[in-house]
Structure 1
Amino acid sequence: MSVRDTGRLAAITGIGCRLPGSINDPVALWDALLAGEAVTRPIPERRWSEMVQRLHPGQRPDRPWTAGVIDDLDDFDAAYFAIAELEAAQMDPQQRMILEVVTEALADAGIAAGSLAGTRTGVWAGSASVDHTGTVFLPGRHIEMGSVSGTSPSILSNRVSYLLGLRGPSMTVDTACSASATALHLARQSLESGEVDTAIVIGTNTMTAPGITAAFASAGVLAPDGVCRPFDPEGQGYVRSEAVVVTVLRRTGDAQDAHDRIYAVLRGSATNSDGHSPAGLYAPNPPAHVDLLRDAYAAAGVAPEHVDYVQCHGTGTKAGDSSEGRALARVLGADRDTPLPIGSVKSVLGHSEGASGLVGAVCTALALHYGRIPPTAAHTELRPTLSRLPLRVPVKTETWPDTGRPRLAGVSSFGFGGSNVHVVLEQAPVPAARDEAVPGRTRLVPVSAPTAERLRLRAEAWSPVVAATDLAGTAATAQHRRDHQAVRAAVVADGTADASAALAALATGRSHPALVGPARVPTHKGPLVWLFCGHGSQHARMAVSAYATEPVFRAAFDDASQALRAHLGRAVWSPGTKIDGFETAQHAIWLTQTAQAALWRSWGYTPDAVLGHSLGEVAAAHAAGALGLDDAARVVAVRSALLARTSGQGGLLVTELPPAQAEAAIAGRSLVVAAYNAPDTTVISGPVDPLRKLAEELERDGVYVRRVAEDVPAHSPAVDDLVPQLADALADVVPREGEPTFYSSVTAEAVAGDRLGADYWARQLRAPVRFTDALAAAVEGEGAVVVELGGRSTLARGASATLATGTSTATIVAAGDTERDDHAALMTQFGMLYTTGHTPVQWPQPFAAPVRLPVTWDRGRHHDSVSIPGLDDVLAEDNPDQEAVITALTRLVAQVLGAEPDQIDPERSLIELGLTSVAVIGLRDAIRAAHPGLAGFGVGALLDPGTSLASVAKLVSEYSSTVAVSG
């Protein structure tokens, strides 16, 4: 046997399904397989009642046929895919279900659907169902473009490629009952050749008309008792079934690198034709089955006798079972010590025809994944023609035999007309051990959706799952393996109970301490501004958790600490040790801010502007690239040492006084305004006694005052003698141009980085901190997001108050407080940034195997009868109100675009709104459908690039009024 590069073999990494018995995910499918009971049942009378009556009397059933029926065949979340209800109503149910199941399969694979846009991802659909075409193209029925695209087999695959923006091969395959297995075979080849990196394989079958079932029943193909008994003497035929099943394939090596869940590896496959079968076009040709098996195992490079189990075509027909069994015995059973276990899932799910090959492959992949062989239902003994062959059919769940080799299985699929496929599946390789980053105690779980209502639905679905799932895995999946949509929230928690409760609160519109948001991402994204706190932002537990849990933070902190130590000549503060005195507090603040800045950058958050408050300007200058780490450490070391000399000479008093009142209050005293922190907050600096007396007076007057801890009389005449000393000590500092823009709290304007030398820092030591003016300059305009860096929040309240009085708008992302774990505070800030639309380049949680977080749907009404909300009622008036028409059309366009009506500007052209030419045709069809008299309404004017929605409303109003008058 040939040796194959297993890393290039295709692997099944994602599964999605819609199957009879309300089986809508791989877990439910596996449970049904283990139960070993048929989920088929009599076809509901409502499904075909009218069409059955049109059948020839000889074809009408005496009792309802038994089949595997999908109950919610017509349910579809059209708005999620930005498909208008009118178009959805004309789509083959296969197309509708495929879109949802592909989305679910990608989620199961841990692939964010949006990440595939523009990639060489291929789509292969296998289907033999043509029922919907027969129900649409009836004599006298009006046919539109939606009817054509809604019934075309090619659109089964192409609509997926279109909506996901995929650039790889896209094709629909019909080889009858082996169609989806053929699709799997083609996708495997494409992956192994390198033509694609990801493959989406679809198998689908629906029964929306009774004709084929009637013909098969009349021909004696279907089991008369409604039970499929593969390989059993009592087997007299099969039971038809509906199915939509999707697999996501990646090369095994790529899947391992991405820590994907691998259900099974496609070791190889082969396909051939019966050719001229002696018994006829519809009959099997045994020699062809033998050749197929030999080719498949030669291609797979494995010995046939090593196969542990075969998922057979196994329809329960005498000729089919006998031919298949004999071929298996001849090729796979010749050198075996024990009989070969074989089975057929058709005994449980029915025969899903064009989808059946992929259904069989998926069931076998699950068996390999879980290491158990499921039973075949309704089987008692082998047919006499097979009884002496080395074959057996398990009727109870069995543990997969331990052979010392990877588990190995085959899947057979034979097509009506002679197109045959056999797929060889192998157990997934054991995941390689990986070096995990130091785990953080707090996890961030982002959750998003296109609309607020969908966000609530998603949170409701996720809450119980998160409660029972590893929180680190949940966070990794939500961060890396989901799209991040327009309405966002984030859960920041250190345990599953809190995370689940926060999601439950989100679902019901309540607040929760672990919940950030929800918020809609603004359409205009403003600058990201970093705001560095000054003295007073220190606290005892500052940086402790971040240092312990974030390697980037720790490395940056240690680098800064080493640089500072070189200038001090002694050990410096480290997280968890006591902050003893003014100088130590200054060091702790700068070290923490420098490490925080490095951590934010590692996550991909690069500021557009920075500013700082007093000491905070040093970290800001370093973040702006104006000061290297050594120079920044020198400024901090010298500046803090000089200021420490003034300890005991005075201090700082925070007051809730507007600047004018503060100036009046200190008049005639040896005090100055050291900082303008907000329109209603000033910081007073000066000697101890005058400061104490002022505090007492203000408190008597009911004014809030607070003495700053570990303070000195900074920015006051007490530091005048220190100014020239600082300038001399920093003479060797070499500032440089840099990015981002540095906004000075000294000059209240942007200052070039190369101007931040010794003279600047000397002036900065004495000048008042003009924080409010500097902030206003940095966030001028709309949509800025200001992130506060420091041990605890000291500036966020003042920043909010400052912006509330101006014309600029900004979101303030406050630092934590002294009561909260500092790493949790950082994660909360991260969550706030996420909700503002600032999605990181690198998430804090490392990649891990995907967790099954449910995909949620907001399905509207059934699609057999569709009316356009509002439009039909509006146009029923003889002279419809134009504003009412605009409102109705706005709702319709919002539905097509998957947006909210208030996001649609009716004065913008249809092209500017994002409507494609096909969508415009759909809009015209919707208008026609809303009023019988508008059947002649044309599309030409709508396709004019300059036509606005308001203009369309005017045309519709005038046209319908004309129709009403002429009528």
Structure 2
Amino acid sequence: MTVRADGHDSVAVIGFAGRFPQADSVPRLWDALLQGRELITHYDRDQLAALGAPEAVLGDEQFVGAFGALDDIESFDADLFGYSRREAELTDPQQRLLLECAWHALDDAGYGGFHGDCAVFASTSVSGYLLRHVLGNAAEWAGADQLQLVLGNEKDHASTRIAYKLDLTGPALTVQTACSSSLVAVHLATQSILNGECDLALAGAATVQLPEVPGYQFSKHGIFSPDGHCRPFDESAHGTVPANGVAMVVLKRTDRAIADGDTVHAVIRGSALNNDGARKMGYSAPSHDGQVAVISAALRAADVDPATIGYVEAHGTGTEVGDVIELAALTEAYRRHTDASGYCKIGSLKGNAGHLDAAAGVSSLIKTVLAVREGVIPASINCDVPHPGFDWANSPFTVNTESSPWEAATGPRRAAVSGFGMGGTNVHVIVEQAPESASRPEPRAAGGPRLVPVSGHTQEAVEALSADLAGRLEEGTVDAGDMAHTLAHGRRTLRWRSAVTGSTSAEIAERLRGSRPRLVPKKAALTMLFPGQGQHYPGMAANLYEAFDTFREVFDECTKAADPLAGPTLRETLLGTADPGVAEAAMASTRFAQPALFIVEYALARQLRSWGVHPRYLVGHSIGEFAAACLAEVMSPQDAVALVCARGRLMDATTRAGMLAVRTSEAACEALLPPTLTIAAVNGPSAVVVAGADDDLDSFAADLARQGITTRRLSVERAFHSPFMDPVLDEFREIAEGFRYRKPRLRVISTLTGAPVREYSADYWVRQLRQRVRFAEAAAHAVAAQNPVLLEVGPGAALTGAVQSFATDARPSAVLTMPQPGRQHEAPTALLEAAGVLWESGVDLDLGALGAAPGRRVPLPAYPFSRERHWLDARPSVPQPAVPEPTRAADEGPKAPAPQADRHEPDVLGRVVQIWQRLLGAGDLGPDSDFFELGGDSLTAVRLLAALNRDLGVTLDLTDVLEERTIARQATAIRQLLDSPSARTEDH
């Protein structure tokens, strides 16, 4: 592999995650390395006794109580990943930790919600959990078939399970080359990226060894250390120490990572892979020739001079033979290119953390990437006297015994990482400092309002993550714009949601700490409500025009069409640039008010649509229906502007009159109404609007007041939707007939008929101008939907308020898009807040399209898993698993005789609950418990079907189980079969 200056053929490390002994994250591992801490836990005899060590172990002088332990390996966020409790208990913790690590690594890279060609190359060690915990608990796994045990514990499924759970469609390959596995996975991942097989790649491994007692049996000339310390390159190096760990990196082509604004921690210049073959003393022995060959091949692939490599992270197991062979091989490979001595530092993570087996290579790579990025080489600990069996003076290498700053003499910092697997598979990787164009920028002040979306599977997770994010902003270690960008583009959207807005880091942090997450039980049914005349005000478009591109483009398009018809005063009034007196007069005029409302509402709706907001219904009140129809593509914006301008001009030419809001029902108002007045609108069960002459309205209001009925005059100067409009109807019809109308592409609910509009015509628009506005009937469609959400697309809150006042069964969420008059400067924030509330309410939208300015994907606090104990305790003996009958592999244990006399068992529901509990390992279940929400899948459904048919004496089909997803519905289906003479029951 050759590398050009633009990084076109190199691969960037853009994210990582891991858990290590005494360090539950990559940052904590790095802190420990800089402090030179050993992370191995040492147990004295009393501690071993407290852990249940038998006397044979306590009295064995050869037993060494040292182990690199991971904390809390028993716990897992099963619900987040769709595992049932039973499935989680039967799954190897290596698979579970690897899955969590993959989630965190993608989040760290800013690709947490990535669905697409992401490859997975992963590895695990041997499953001690299967041997000692699962098979040792025969009673617990008796209800599982062999396939379930295989899927949860065989190495084959480590990568494909991640790809399935995270919806990743690139190559998914489990890599097994012993302790070089994870670095081999990195090599294969880079090749997959460069070959175009994937856009991203995950590479890593998990090792969870489960010794009965923490420690190991030491034997002379074996691979384990006699004193519980690993001493790479030291004269006292006599072995390694076993340890657990899990780590993954996220990789991407460097040029694409730079172009996409990813955080590039370092780049992989090149790598190589080979095997020793038989050129060594034995199968498990290292090979000098094999290591020389792979190191030389990696240098060629990277096309770098080894004199420019300042650090080598060695395999460095701290064994007598292995270290010397490795040092000699490195020296021979480098001496082919340079005569310089002592210029390259060498070290090994194993001195700190022990031997992580399958996870060793990727963990060493992460250490090296951080060293290259930060310009610091951590100390390689436990090396007091470098091994005397090696000629250090004539070698390029020196052990880095103290943490030291690293400034490359010329060019970027470069390092190398080795991984040598028992059995002979060797890999060597060359790492280079990220290009200058990908360096991390300094945090900057947020420009303009930002929407910061946070979601999680539980309320507690959202609250914890919000607090962590606020802390990062308060520390000043992340830019608010980059945080908003990363959360929008690079995190999954889960069922508990919280969205805050702000223009400064301090403002956003404060709101994050005070936020209250909302649960989205189901997808929302959104109705866009477009208000009519009465809520508009001068300058209402100004700040939206400055802040949002789509709004600005649509506004320009519409005002350009309106200029010949309404004059430039309309645009100036909406943008707040007209003389205040002129603007007030214009907004008071129907001629200007109607096109002004249309333009702002339609531009707002188009802005929302550009963010991926897709309404189920559109409802427009009077003039608002034109914006709804135009959004539904009934006519072009230019035609809609022309028709609205004509409508406003003609209505403005009618005789001056007024309108009166009356707090009573339509029927009661009809009974009291004098013949000189008309009901113009019905906005709710107790909200009508009456139109007529001013004197008549005043008289009617006084009469109603005496009867205790509340009224309110509206700020309009015409009697819309009344006989006062009759003189202009013919001319408006003639104008309306000059336009072409298409069938609505979205569902517009007519406020003329209260029903969906099938098609528009000139006659429709004439009747819509003159006849009564039946808003309440139209809005009833929105209220009747499940999880209704109302969005007022335009100024004011009149329509959402009206709907909420009569929605008695389920009060819908109401969202406003514009601030009140006098607060126009808050309009961009108000619109972003509206988008945030929509998202919190379950409305689908494209969070990534909401950014007011471009940002970068940056590392943010990790998602806080809601981990619970899912664990089968080890048993002293390991029974042999029974082999199920081939024809009944899905059955739940031994076949019981089918019920005879009790086939009409009344407690069918209880029997179904018991079967579910046995299969899923679930505790409290109710009639509405959902099989798939509890972690059921197709495999478990087959076993559930067999158990229901056998235990209850029926013959359900698989479709019955898959479609009747709840306990209650399955119980009902079973009762119907039991009670029906022609049921599909077994012939007993």
| Shorter-chain TM-score range | 0.7 to 0.9
SS at match of 1:226: coil
Match of 1:190 in 2: 192
The answer for the alignment partner of 2:376 in structure 1 is 372
Amino acid at match of 1:472: G
The amino acid that maps onto 2:370 is L
Residue 756 (structure 2) aligned to one of 742, 750, 753: 750
Equivalent residue, structure 1, for 2:392: 387
2:767 equivalent to 1:767: no
**Pairing of 1:557-956 with structure 2 (within 5 A):** 557-572=555-570, 573-577=573-577, 578=580, 579-581=583-585, 582-583=588-589, 584-645=592-653, 649-667=656-674, 670-696=676-702, 698=704, 703-709=709-715, 711-730=717-736, 732-755=738-761, 757=762, 759-776=763-780, 782=786, 784-804=788-808, 812-818=814-820, 821-841=826-846, 843-845=849-851, 846=854, 848-861=856-869, 863-865=871-873, 883-887=909-913, 903-904=928-929, 915-920=936-941, 944-946=958-960, 949=967
CA distance in 1, matches of 2:547, 2:321: 65
Aligned position for 1:342: 346
- Is contact 2:133–2:873 with CA below 8 Å preserved after alignment? no
Paired AA for residue 580 in structure 1: E
- Partners of 2:369 and 2:450 lie apart in 1 by 32
What stretches of structure 2 of length at least 5 have no aligned partner? 876-891, 893-901, 976-988
User: Is the 8 Å Cα contact of residues 124 and 187 (structure 1) preserved in structure 2?
Assistant: yes
**Are 2:71 and 1:71 equivalent residues in the alignment?**
yes
Q: Distance in 1 between matches of 2:925 and 2:30?
A: 39
Residue 571 (structure 1) shift? 3.5
Q: 1:125 aligns with which of 98, 115, 122?
A: 122
Aligned mates of 1:440, 1:394 — CA distance in 2: 45
CA contact under 8 A between 2:650 and 2:732: conserved in structure 1? yes
- Which 10-residue stretch deviates more, 126-135 or 25-34? 126-135
For 2:493 and 2:546, locate their aligned partners in 1 and report how far apart those are by CA, in whole Å: 29
Deviates more, 1:330-339 or 1:831-840: 330-339
Distance 2:370 2:510 in 1: 32
- The one-character-per-residue Cα deviations of 1:777-831 (angstroms, maximum 9, x if unpaired) are 57665555442211222211112334448xx996544444407622233223322
Paired with 1:177 and 1:464, the residues of 2 have a C-alpha distance of 38
Query: TM-score normalised to the size of structure 1?
Result: 0.84
Q: Residues 659 and 676 of structure 1 are in contact (CA less than 8 Å); yes or no, is this contact kept in structure 2?
A: yes
Change in Cα spacing, 1:54 to 1:274, as seen in structure 2 (3 Å) is: farther
Closer, same or farther in 2 for the Cα pair 1:260/1:754, shift >3 Å? same
Question: What's the counterpart of residue 11 of structure 1?
Answer: 12
Q: By how many angstroms is 1:20 displaced? A: 0.6
- Residue identity matched to 2:480: L
Pick closer, same or farther for the CA change 1:75–1:218 going to 2, 3 Å: farther
Identify which range, 208-217 or 677-686, moves more after superposition.
208-217
SS at match of 1:223: coil
Q: Which of the residues 438, 448, 451 maps onto 2:455?
A: 448
Report how far residue 557 of structure 1 moved.
1.0
* TM-score in terms of structure 2 length: 0.83
Structure 1 residues 323 and 940, CA gap change in structure 2 (3 angstroms): farther
Distance 1:157 1:256 in 2: 27
Residue deviations 1:746-804 (CA, integer Å, cap 9, x gap): 3333344441x3x4444433323221223335766555544221122221111233444
Aligned partner of 2:482 in structure 1 is 473
Residue by residue, what CA displacement relative to the aligned partner does 1:287-332 show, whole Å, maximum 9, x if unpaired? 3322221111111222222212111112223432222223333333
Distance (whole Å) between structure 2 residues aligned to residue 351 and residue 28 of structure 1:
18
Pair 445,900 (structure 1): closer, same or farther in 2 beyond 3 Å? farther
Q: What letter corresponds to residue 495 of structure 2 in structure 1?
A: A
Q: Deviations over 1:232-290 (max 9, x none)?
A: 33433322221111112222233334322222222111122334455544433323322
Change (3 A) 1:767 1:61: farther
Q: How many angstroms apart in 2 are the aligned matches of 1:856 and 1:922?
A: 33
* Matched residue type, 1:835: E
Check whether the contact 1:177–1:413 (CA below 8 A) recurs between aligned residues: yes
Give the match for residue 884 of structure 2.
none
Q: Are the aligned partners of 2:85 and 2:870 in contact in 1 as well (CA < 8 Å)?
A: no
- Bigger drift between 812-821 and 594-603 goes to 812-821
Q: Give the CA deviation at 1:552.
A: 0.9
Query: 1:677-734 deviations in whole A, cap 9, x for unaligned?
Result: 1111122222233333444555566544333335433233433333334344555333
Q: Percent identity?
A: 31
1:299 pairs with 2:304 = no
Report the residue type matching 1:485 in the other structure. L
**1:187-336 residue pairs with structure 2 within 5 A?**
187-209=189-211, 214-215=216-217, 217-276=219-278, 278-332=280-334, 334-336=338-340
After superposing the two structures, state which structure 1 stretch, 161-170 or 620-629, moved more: 161-170
What code does the residue aligned with 1:131 have?
G
CA 1:306–1:204 in structure 2 vs 1: closer, same or farther (change >3 Å)? same
Distance 1:895 1:615, change over 3 A: farther
**CA–CA distance in structure 2, aligned partners of residues 75 and 797 of structure 1:** 47
- Choose between structure 1 and 2 for higher RCO, CA contacts under 8 A separated by at least 6 residues: 2
Amino acid in the other structure paired with 1:10: V
Unaligned runs of 5+ in 1: 512-516, 872-877, 929-935, 958-967
Root mean square deviation, CA, Å: 4.1
Q: Secondary structure at the match of 1:476?
A: helix
- Amino acid in structure 2 at the alignment position of 1:393: V
The structure 2 residue matched to 1:359, chosen from 340, 363, 379, is 363
Shift in alpha-carbon separation, 1:82–1:748, aligned structure 2, 3 A: closer
Deviates more, 1:772-781 or 1:238-247: 772-781
Q: Which amino acid aligns with 2:486?
A: T
**Aligned length in residues:** 914
State the 1:185 CA deviation.
Answer: 1.6
Note the C-alpha offset of 1:853.
3.6
C-alpha change, 1:488 and 1:2, in structure 2 (3 Å) is closer
Give the partner amino acid of 1:15: F
1:500, CA displacement in angstroms?
Answer: 4.1
The answer to whether 1:31 aligns with 2:36 is no
Task: Go from structure 1 to structure 2 and tell me whether the alpha carbon gap of 1:190 and 1:801 turns closer, same or farther (over 3 Å shift).
Answer: same
SS in 1 for 2:387: coil
CA contact (8 A) 1:621 1:742 kept: yes
Per-residue CA shift, 1:845-885, capped at 9, x if unaligned? 25631341421222223513499xxx9xxxxxx99965555
- CA positional deviation for 1:595: 0.9
Question: 2:899: which partner in 1?
Answer: none
Q: Distance in 1 between matches of 2:845 and 2:831?
A: 14
Change (3 A) 1:170 1:751: closer
Q: Deviation string for 1:611-636 (max 9, x for gaps)?
A: 31122122223222223222222223
Contact (CA 8 Å) 1:89, 1:865: kept in 2 or not? Answer: no
Amino acid at match of 2:725: V
1:384-414 per-residue CA deviation (whole Å, 9 max, x = no partner) reads: 3243123223333333323442322100112
Structure 1 residues 574 and 400, CA gap change in structure 2 (3 angstroms): farther
**Using the alignment, how far apart are the partners of 1:461 and 1:922 within structure 2?**
42
Q: Distance in 1 between matches of 2:918 and 2:137?
A: 28
1:15 deviates by: 0.9
Aligned AA for 2:688? T
